[in-house]
Structure 1
Amino acid sequence: MTTSIQIDARWDDDAHVWIATSADAPGLVVEAQSWRAMIDEVRAVLPDLLELASMR
């Protein structure tokens, strides 16, 4: 099964990091110094967050 999830990513000029959040994945808040690192971190934590959300 495929699920579409919208990830909102933005660059924080003050902190010099990318920040990713998602209303589709409650609890997703990732910070990383590069775009690639942010994507990798989202991919690492997203499955666990979605599993936790499905248990509710």
Structure 2
Amino acid sequence: MTHHAVVRCAWDEEAAVWYVSESDVPGLATEAESLDALRRKLPGMIQDLLEDGQGGDVEVDLIAYAHDRVRVGAT
């Protein structure tokens, strides 16, 4: 059986890390220096957190949010 989870990540500028800000996976909380590093951490953590549930695959939608400001024009 295939399950579905949404993991929302955000950039913390002060700490300079990507972190899980919200998730359908109970207890999922982690951070990493890059979005790719965070993506590599998630499968093992999700397996550990969901191993007592029903078997099958979990399709994970990773939604990342970052905010930047760009100055345009004369200063």
TM-score, normalised on structure 1? 0.82
1:7-18 mapped onto 2 (5 Å cutoff): 7-18=7-18
Gaps of 5+ in 2: 55-75
Taking only the aligned residue pairs, the percentage that are identical comes to 38
**Which aligned runs of 4 or more in structure 1 are off by greater than 6 angstroms?**
none
How many residue pairs match? The answer is 53
Structure having the larger proportion of residues in helix = 1
Cα deviations by residue, 1:5-45 (Å, 9 ceiling, x for unpaired): 000111011110000241x2111001000111000111121
Structure having the larger proportion of residues in strand = 2
- Greater relative contact order (CA < 8 Å, ≥ 6 in sequence): 2
Report the structure number with the largest CA radius of gyration.
Answer: 2
Gaps of 5+ in 1: none
